[in-house]
Amino acid sequence: MRTLDTNEISAAVYRLARKAGTTLSDSCRAALARALDGETGAAKFALETALENEIVAKREGMPVCQDTGMAVVLLTLGQDIFLTGAPLRDAVNDGVRRAYRDGCFRKSICDPLTRENTGDNTPAHLHVEIAAGDKAEIVFLPKGFGSENMSRLCMLTPAEGRDGILNFIVNTVKEAGSRPCPPVYVGVGIGGSFDSCAFLAKKALIREVGTDHPRQDVAAIEHEALARINALGIGAQGFHGKTTAIGVSCEVAPTHIAGLPVAVNIQCHCVRCEKETL
Amino acid sequence: MKHLSLPLTKEERLALRAGDCVLLSGTVYTARDCAHRRFFELLDQGLPLPFDPHGAFIYYAGPCPAPAGKACGSCGPTTSARMNTFAPRLLHEGLGGMIGKGEMSAETREALKQCGAVYFAAIGGAGAMYGNAIGKMELVAFPELLSEAVYRLEVHDFPLVVAHDAHGGTVY
């Protein structure tokens, strides 16, 4: 048994949030730099601006994008950990609150009906999973809503199968067009239930851009979807070009014999994701 | 790259073509979803808008708070399509155009054409660059909307692409 004070989790959330808001993930930066190759005109201008923007953000100590997002926190907690201190949810929210205040991040969370802003970007969207061992892994994903708004979920029939999955992924990106800040990173959930499928799509965005799913048949869907999306020609910011998506990442889970849920969670070209293990 | 200074004359607006990359300087006003709803409430009551719309440019943006020593925080564009329900009426009130990201509707493009106005696309996600190019920021209306309030910004060399021009042309 290991004792862990939730203050330490709060401090880690703070560190991760500050870093995530002000930097692109390494794999995202590399993918954007690769996408520059062969682009011309406005699409090239958009990609150059995106890359230069991160340099300005670093130099000036500013968030890369003003949409510093909804704070998505995924905590994988070893079952041999005994938590002490403030309630876990309060500790996580406290880390978010302090990071968004000190980092001059925008507070973007509001009541869905009155639209009144909570003023401190809380509550965070906290997922906790219990795992073996005594380590705590924390992932911080600030999720902007220009791209979140373009995300979709569909309950396909089993008969629609692989083709149905591919068509739904490609059509979701096509319908989103220029709105979610392409080139996008496409997170896909396949299987599970209505709710867990959407979460799988979110988890898919944690994977490094440009890596394959370990299952060969799933990786093949990722490759085929990416090729078809890039053949759409939407391009960076919708200005036409070769790169509409920098990657497609799928996560799968067993589902019911009667169903085939598929969720597509769109991430803009500012892939910001940081993790730490305590 | 073409340098432009606001306010733009109608001739300057008409000379722009979809796909042109420009550096824009001058005064713009921020407004997002909530502020637009309030504009419509004012217009419906026959009341004036918080700024003179004639020739003015609205920037669809909600900035981050300003760090010490800066006029404004990170301040890139938001998705313009959400403002399609508002843009045509404001263009007919005299607006010179808008700045945002992503394609706008056929109705908005038609209004741009009728009014000789122009829609510029800023590069989404480049908030630090745009925020750093803002020399002055003043609150104009609706402070309770926080980052969604209406601010007057003095911008310097904003990198933009003419997305929908005054002739029905589009970059998308």
- Are A50 and B159 inside 8 Å of each other by CB? no
State the pLDDT at residue A216: 98
- Residues A188/A169, Cβ–Cβ less than 8 Å: yes
| The 3-state secondary structure of A26-44, one letter per residue | HHHHHHHHHHHCCCCHHHH
Are residues A211 and A125 part of one domain? no
Count of structural domains within chain B = 1
Question: What residue numbers bound the domain in which A82 lies?
Answer: 2-21+64-143
Tokens of B29: 């006003």
Domain's final residue, options A111, A143, A175: A143
- Report DSSP letters for B86-153, one per residue: THHHHHHTT--EEEEBS---HHHHHHHHHHT-EEEEE-TT-HHHHHHTEEEEEEEE-GGGGGGSEEEE
Contact flag A177-B74 (C-beta cutoff 8 Å): no
Using an 8 Å CB-CB cutoff, list residues of chain A that contact chain B.
41-42, 45-46, 49-50, 52-54, 56-57, 60-68, 104-108, 115, 117, 119, 146, 149, 177-181, 237-240, 268-270
Q: Which of A63, A117, A239 sits opposite B74 (nearest CB)?
A: A63
If contacts are CB pairs under 8 Å, which of residues 72-91 in chain B contact chain A?
73-76, 78-79, 81
> Using the beta-carbon criterion (under 8 Å), do A49 and B126 form an inter-chain contact?
yes
Quick one: what percent of chain A has pLDDT higher than 90? Answer: 98
- Tell me if A47 is assigned to some domain: no
Q: For tokens 């009155």, what's the residue? A: A114
Residues A93 and A182 in one domain: no
Q: What's the confidence (pLDDT) of residue A231?
A: 97
For residues A103 and A221, membership in a common domain is answered with no
Specify the CATH number for the domain of residue A195: 3.30.1330
Q: What region, left, alpha or beta, does residue A17 occupy, with left being phi > 0 and alpha being psi -120 to 50 degrees?
A: alpha
Interatomic CA distance for residues A179 and A263, integer angstroms:
19
Domain boundary among A109, A143, A177: A143
**Could you list the pLDDT tens digit for every one of the 278 residues in chain A?**
899 999 999 999 999 999 999 999 999 999 999 999 889 999 999 999 999 999 999 999 999 999 999 999 999 999 999 999 999 999 999 999 999 999 999 999 999 999 999 999 999 999 999 999 999 999 999 999 999 999 999 999 999 999 999 999 999 999 999 999 999 999 999 999 999 999 999 999 999 999 999 999 999 999 999 999 999 999 999 999 999 999 999 999 999 999 999 999 999 999 999 999 99
Name the residue range of residue B46's domain. Answer: 2-164
CA A213 from centre of chain: 16
Indicate the residue of B78, B132, B159 with minimum beta-carbon distance to A62: B132
A201 within some domain: yes
Query: B155: distance to nearest CA of chain A, Å?
Result: 16
- The answer on A155 and A235 residing in a single domain is yes
Q: What is the pLDDT of residues B6-61, one digit of tens each?
A: 999 999 999 999 999 999 999 999 999 999 999 999 999 999 999 999 999 999 99
Residues in chain B closer than 8 A to A106 (CB atoms): 62-65, 73-74, 147
ipTM of the prediction = 0.91
Cβ of residue B95 closer than 8 Å to a chain A Cβ: no
Strands B118-122 and B57-59, by their bridges, are unpaired
Interatomic CA distance for residues A147 and A266, integer angstroms: 5
Residues A8, A115, single domain; the answer is yes
CA distance linking residue B23 with residue B35, whole number of Å: 26
| Both structure tokens of A124 | 């965070």
How many Cβ pairs closer than 8 A exist between chain A and B?
A: 147
Question: Minimal Cα–Cα distance from A15 to chain B, Å?
Answer: 18
What backbone phi and psi angles, to 5 degrees, belong to B87? -60, -45
Out of A100, A126, A143, pick the residue that ends a domain: A143
Q: Within a domain: residue B169?
A: no
Residue count of chain A, please give it.
Answer: 278
The domain total for chain A is 2
State pLDDT tens for residues B89-126: 999 999 999 999 999 999 999 999 999 999 999 999 99
Kindly report the CATH number assigned to the domain that includes residue B99. 3.20.130.10
Smallest Cα distance from B30 to chain A, Å: 13
CA atoms within 13 A on the CB side of A172: 29
A30-75 confidence digits (pLDDT tens): 999 999 988 999 999 999 999 999 999 999 999 999 999 999 999 9
Phi and psi at residue A255, in whole multiples of 5°?
Answer: -125, -170
pLDDT score recorded for residue A38 = 83
Question: Quick one: pLDDT at residue A267?
Answer: 97
Q: Do A14 and A129 fall into the same domain? A: yes
**Residues facing A153 on adjacent strands:** A263
Q: Is residue B59 part of a domain?
A: yes
> Closest chain A residue to B69 measured between Cα atoms?
A60
Kindly state whether residues A159 and A97 are assigned to the same domain. no
Query: Are the Cβ atoms of A115 and B34 closer than 8 angstroms?
Result: yes
Q: What is the b/e burial string over B151-170, where b = at least 16 CB atoms within 10 angstroms of the residue's CB?
A: bbbbbeebbbbbbbbbeebb
Is B50 an interface residue toward A (CB < 8 Å)? no
Closest-CA distance of chain A to residue B26, Å: 20
Q: State the amino acid at position B103 in one-letter form.
A: E
Same domain for A122 and A229, yes or no, is no
Check whether residue A7 and residue A134 sit in a common domain: yes
Using a CB-CB distance cutoff of 8 angstroms, which residues of chain A are in contact with residue B103? 177-179, 238
* Closest Cβ opposite residue B128 in set A63, A107, A178: A63
Cβ–Cβ under 8 Å, residues A29 and A209: no
